[in-house]
Amino acid sequence: MTQKRGFTTTLLHADRLRKPEFGALHQPIHTAVTWGFDDVQGLVNVFQNKEKGFAYSRQGNPTTAALENKITMMEKGIATVSFSTGMAAIMATVFALVKQGSHIVASSFLFGNSRSVLQTFTEIGLDIDFVDATDVNNIRAACKPNTCMVFVETIANPATQIADLEAIGNFCEEHGLIYMVDNTMTSPYIFQPVNVKASLVVNSLTKYIGGHGNALGGAVTDTGLFNWDAYPGIAQILRQQIKPELLGITQIRKRGLRDGGGTLAPEAAHNISVGAETLALRLQHACGNAQALAEYLNDHPLVDKVYYPGLPDHPQHELSKKLFRLHGGLMSFALKDGVDIFAFLNRLQVVIKSSNLGDTRTLAIPVAQTIFFELGAERRAEMGIPEGMIRLSVGIEDREDLLNDFKQAFDAIS
Ligand X SMILES: *Cc1c(COP(=O)(O)O)cnc(C)c1O
Binding site residues, ligand X, CB under 6 A:
85-87, 111, 114, 153, 157, 182, 184-185, 204, 206-207, 216, 218
User: Shortest distance, CB of residue 356 to ligand X, whole angstroms?
Assistant: 8
Integer distance in angstroms from the first to the last C-alpha of the chain?
63
| Strand order, beta sheet including 363-366 | 303-307, 330-335, 389-393, 363-366, 352-353
Q: Do the beta carbons of residue 219 and residue 81 sit within 8 Å?
A: yes
**Closest chain position to ligand X (CB):** 86
Q: Which is nearer to ligand X, 134 or 157 (CB)?
A: 157
Question: Among residues 72 and 85, whose Cβ is nearest to ligand X?
Answer: 85
Residue placing its CB nearer to ligand X in the complex, 228 or 391: 391
Q: Kindly report the number of other CB atoms within 10 A of residue 204's CB atom.
A: 29
CB of 6 to ligand X, least distance (A): 26
Spacing of C-alpha 393 from chain mean position: 15
**Are 352 and 362 within 8 A, CB to CB?**
yes
CB 153 → ligand X: shortest distance, Å? 5
CA neighbours within 13 Å on the CB side: how many for 237? 7
How near is the Cβ of 113 to ligand X at its closest, in Å?
Answer: 6
- Smaller CB distance to ligand X: residue 110 or 402? 110
Nearer to ligand X, 63 or 157 (CB): 157
Rounded to whole angstroms, how far apart are CA atoms 230 and 58? 29
The CB density around residue 324, as the number of other CB atoms within 10 Å, is: 20
User: Residues near 176 by Cβ (< 8 Å), separated by ≥ 6?
Assistant: 227, 230
Amino acid residing at 156: A
CB 335 within 8 A of CB 394: no
Minimum Å gap between C-beta 146 and ligand X is 25
Nearer to ligand X, 153 or 405 (CB): 153
Closest approach of ligand X to the CB of residue 335, in Å: 23
